[in-house]
């Protein structure tokens, strides 16, 4: 249950980042509006990666074989996501 909560927290907060990035050209018409949207991400920006790293650590502690399979197969994608 803990791993599910950690990954859900990551995807929820990361969805906020992705959504803001996608809507930036459409909603942010001026530089001031774009800056306000980007500044709204500030408090949660680094927290997203903490959720992902914590979930990865919990996955490693609970299921080391699953961790090894997932993270070796998706190493490049996870590296780029960080």
pLDDT in tens, 28-76: 889 999 999 989 888 877 888 888 889 888 888 888 888 888 778 888 8
Residue 17 has pLDDT above 80, yes or no: yes
- pLDDT greater at residue 82 or residue 52: 52
pLDDT of residue 75: 82
pLDDT of residue 35: 92
pTM of the predicted model as reported, rounded to 2 decimal places: 0.65
pLDDT of residue 66: 83
Domain boundaries, the chain: 2-81
**Is 54:37 a contact under the CB 8 Å cutoff?**
no
């Amino acid at each position: 249950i803990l791993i599910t909560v950690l990954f859900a927290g990551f995807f929820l907060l990361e969805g906020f980042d992705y959504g803001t990035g996608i809507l930036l050209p459409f909603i942010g018409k001026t530089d001031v509006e774009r800056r306000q949207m980007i500044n709204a991400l500030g408090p949660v920006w680094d927290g997203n990666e903490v959720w992902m790293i914590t979930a990865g650590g919990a996955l490693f502690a609970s299921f080391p074989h699953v961790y090894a399979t997932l993270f070796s197969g998706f190493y490049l994608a996870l590296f780029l996501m960080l």
